[in-house]
Amino acid sequence: MIIAEVVDEIVATRKHPSHEGRKLLLVQPLELEGAPRGAPFLALDAVDAGAGDRVLVVVEGYAAMTAVGRPQSPINAAVVGVIDRVDLARN
């Protein structure tokens, strides 16, 4: 699982039939402190997240497929939670 920020919703005029009724989101992976980490990518939305939300994303195929209730579908990443806050404990 990774922490990311939703950049925007992607509108697709055509998509795989298993993706019908689900939003595609462009998400930017983040470091724990909130700085961008790596390149943005697409994830299928399972929690009705929106632009600006900090979210949890699963990036393993089987976990992503089952998170959105679409087993055996071509899904690599899914947004599975909206993060209210992150508390970092320093030792």
Q: Per residue of the chain (91 residues), what is the pLDDT tens digit?
A: 999 999 999 988 888 787 777 889 999 999 988 899 999 999 999 899 999 999 999 998 778 777 777 777 788 899 999 999 888 777 7
Domains contained in the chain, CATH given: 2-82 (2.40.50.220)
Q: Which of 20, 25, 70 is nearest to 48 (CA)?
A: 25
If phi over 0 gives left and psi between -120 and 50 gives alpha, with beta otherwise, what is residue 21?
A: left
